[in-house]
Structure formats: structure tokens, C-alpha cells
Structure 1
Amino acid sequence: MKNIILTLCIAVLFSCQNSAQTNKKQEAVINANPIEVPLKNGKAKAYFASGCFWCVEAIYEHIKGVSEVISGYSGGHTKNPTYEASNTGKTGHAEAVEVIYDPKVVSFETLVDVYFGSQNPTQVNGQGNDRGTQYRSIIFYQNEEQKQIILKKKETLAKKLNATIAAEVYPFQKFWAAETYHQNYERLHPNNSYIQNVSVPRLNRFKTKFPELLKEKH
């Protein structure tokens, strides 16, 4: 009898834990239909999360065909997220960037190559010492064509590295721009210790890997 009671208690305990770990709001985000952002003045938008947005913004700003990159939050279930709220890991959002680009100059496929090639693709929930779900890697698609591009490149990379690729693949829903002081942070704060020790080295590794994609002047 005691064994039966013990078994039931354990089953209930695990059931409660599993229930607590299941966030219905976040599941709805992951399973939603993607929202496609229309071209504006011939420019398209793409969305990526790959660790600290200061680093990712700086990388994409150096690519030919990219006119602007905005730091912000995406991938979560909370409306109007803030930096402080995002850092709790409870919003579901990750630090992300909005890349505004000319598809006649640079393709979405190339932006995906930059995404996977400018990070540690196997690190879960972070990049380097920036750790937590708010720093996790997410790549967003707006239609089936983009989704297939992402999935094929992810599969190819997994085979090449013989490892699991950490990036999650989400249908794009909404991008929330971050606070003004986060925008162009690498360019405006070159003497910041994080910029010097983390952002610049990551940017330089990207430049070395993709010299053919760089703007002549930045």
C-alpha cells in the first residue's frame, strides 16, 4: 500500500512540474501563423536573435544592402516588453534585431548565412557569457519560403558540425523596439568595456569570415 501511495505522489509531483513548465501563451506564439511584413520603399525587414542585441546590430549594420538595424525584443508573449522585464526571462522574449535591407542587393538567404556564421550556433540560451533565455538564439520566418531556407541551412550546419544547432525557428509575430539608449550602442559607446571586450571581437570575427559582404565605408 505504501509503495502505491509513494508511486502516486511521485506521479503527481512530476505532473505538477510538467504543468508548471508549460506556458500556454508561449506555445501560442511558437505555433502561430507567421506575419509577413510588406516592403516599404523597396526595403524588406528580417528579424534575428543571437545573444546581446548590441553585438548583432553592429554585425548586420556592416553588410552591403542593409540600411538600418534596430535593437529590440521578439519571440515572447508579453506586450510592450522593457529591458528590465526581458532580463527576468519571464516575458518569453529574446533580445533581437530588425534588419531593414534592400532585397535587390542582399538576399534573405545571405542574411541567414550571416546569422549562423556570426555566432556559436551550438550554445543554448546565450552567447558567450551572456546567458539566459533572453539571450537565446531565434531566427524568425515570415512565410514558408523563408522557413524552408532556415530549416535547410540549419540542417546542413548540424551535419557539418555533427552537433545540435541551438537556434529556435519561430513564425514572426511582432517586434518591439528597445529603449533609445540601446540603439547604435556599439557605435556611440566605443570605450564601453563590454563593447571593447565582447562586441568588437565578435564583429571582427564576422568581418574576417565574410569580407565580401562588407560595406566599403561604415
Structure 2
Amino acid sequence: MKQLVLAFSLTLMFNCHNKAQNSEKQEAIKNSSPIEVPIQNGKARAYFASGCFWCVEAIYESVKGVDEVISGYSGGHTSNPTYEASNTGKTGHAESVEVIYDPKIVSFETLVDVYFGSQNVTQINGQGNDIGSQYRSIIFYQNDTQKQIIMEKKAALAKQLNAKIAAEVYPFQKFWKAEDYHQNYERLHPNNPYVKNVSIPRLNRFKAKFPELLKTAK
């Protein structure tokens, strides 16, 4: 009986998520013109979604040339999303990060390599056991040059793996900063069970794969 209830609940959840992702409002977001964020004080910004933002924030903060990473929500059709609202799958948003970086040290192209190289690129609507449209993979572009970089790398990866790459490609519209308690979560809560068992292992797999991209330890 419990298995039947669980199966029904999962089916209902995915139906809600699919409706949110395929709604007219969501299609309008996908078909919008991208908004370009201007460079400020020599720093550019890039936006990525790839599962739990606690994990993704820690990965990008380990990359040299990255000044700061902020956890938040992007890709949806509602304003002022919250953690609770995004978890329903009805907002269209995914847990995302804003990567603030020095383009003289690290390029957008390299940040895209970090993106594809730090996740299960074939998993749809989630990463690992974090399942749902709020955990889906989205990579955001701000102009045609960025879009071309993303599409070429995605196509090359699909050919290399002979598999469909799950990451959606969206024009960037707006990033909504997450609640304060989500920021720097992995660094501030190293003994949290999720951090110990999911976030840190994922970070360590990335570090082992891309040692040349890592910041020098102080």
C-alpha cells in the first residue's frame, strides 16, 4: 500500500512539474529575448542551474577567477519566488546560482565547462536523489555569443557520450536571490548530513576532475 501511495505521489508531483514547465507562461520565458547584465567594477555575471544550489555554489566558488557565488532562483514565470514556492514545481523556477567572476582570469567558456563537468549531464529534472523541476539543469545565456558557446559544447558532449544532454538552454531574464540561510550553506554547515554525504562528495569529484581550475589554497 505504501508503495502504491508513493508511486501515486511521485506521478502527481511530476505531472505538476511538467505542467509548470510546459505552460504558456513558461514557454514565453523560453522564447524571450535575453537580458545582458553589464560588467560592474570589472566583474561579469553568469547564471547556472544544476541541482541543489548548495552544491553548485560550492563548486563555482572553488574556481579561480570567481569572486562570489550567490544562491537563488531563475528560469520561472513568477515574481519573488521563495524556497517553499519553488519546491512545489509550479513557479517554473530552478535552484540557480549567480556567478560573479573576473573575465580576465576565467572565461564564460570555462564556466560552461565547469557546468557540464560537475553534474550528471543526462539526468532529467534533477541531480542524484534531488528530483523535481526545481532541480533541473538550465544554462542561461545573455547574448548570441554565449548561446553559441553553450550550444556547441552541448552538441559536442552529446556526440561524445552518444546521449541526450538534459540541460535546458534559456535566455537569461532575472535572478532572484534566495533566502539568507541558503547562502554559503556548505561552508557554514560542514556537518550537515546532506552536505557531508552529497555536497562535499560532489565538490571533491569536481576538484579531482579539474585541478587546473582550482583556486590556490591560502
| TM-score, L = length of structure 1 | 0.90
Deviation string, structure 1 residues 4-31 (Cα, Å, up to 9, x no partner): xxxxxxxxxxxxxx99984111011000
Aligned partner of 2:199 in structure 1 is: 199
Give the whole-Å Cα distance in 1 for the aligned partners of 2:196 and 2:33: 40
Structure 1 runs (4+) deviating above 4 angstroms are 18-22
Give the whole-Å Cα distance in 1 for the aligned partners of 2:82 and 2:139: 20
Compared CA separation, residues 21 and 116, structure 1 to 2 (3 A): closer
Compared CA separation, residues 20 and 124, structure 1 to 2 (3 A): closer
Aligned partner of 1:176 in structure 2 is: 176
Structure 1 residue 144 displacement after superposition: 0.1
Aligned partner of 1:31 in structure 2 is: 31
Structure 1 residue 120 displacement after superposition: 0.2
Compared CA separation, residues 67 and 23, structure 1 to 2 (3 A): same
Aligned partner of 1:129 in structure 2 is: 129
Aligned partner of 2:69 in structure 1 is: 69
Give the whole-Å Cα distance in 1 for the aligned partners of 2:100 and 2:214: 16
Uncovered stretches (5+) of structure 1, i.e. residues with no partner? 1-17
Q: What value does the CA root-mean-square deviation take over the aligned residues? A: 1.5
Deviation string, structure 1 residues 79-131 (Cα, Å, up to 9, x no partner): 00000000000000000000000000000000000000000000000000000
1:105 equivalent in alignment to 2:105: yes
> Which amino acid is 1:60 matched to?
Y
Aligned partner of 1:117 in structure 2 is: 117
Compared CA separation, residues 20 and 153, structure 1 to 2 (3 A): closer
Give me the identity figure in percent: 81
Aligned partner of 2:208 in structure 1 is: 208
| Bigger Rg, which one | 1
> Which amino acid is 2:151 matched to?
L
Uncovered stretches (5+) of structure 2, i.e. residues with no partner? 1-17
Deviation string, structure 1 residues 190-214 (Cα, Å, up to 9, x no partner): 0000000000000000000000000
Compared CA separation, residues 160 and 177, structure 1 to 2 (3 A): same
Give the whole-Å Cα distance in 2 for the aligned partners of 1:96 and 1:86: 11
Aligned partner of 1:217 in structure 2 is: 217
Report the 3-state secondary structure (helix = DSSP H, G, I; strand = E; otherwise coil) of the residue aligned with 2:99: strand
> Which amino acid is 2:194 matched to?
Y
Structure 1 residue 217 displacement after superposition: 2.2
Compared CA separation, residues 104 and 85, structure 1 to 2 (3 A): same
| TM-score, L = length of structure 2 | 0.90
Aligned partner of 1:89 in structure 2 is: 89
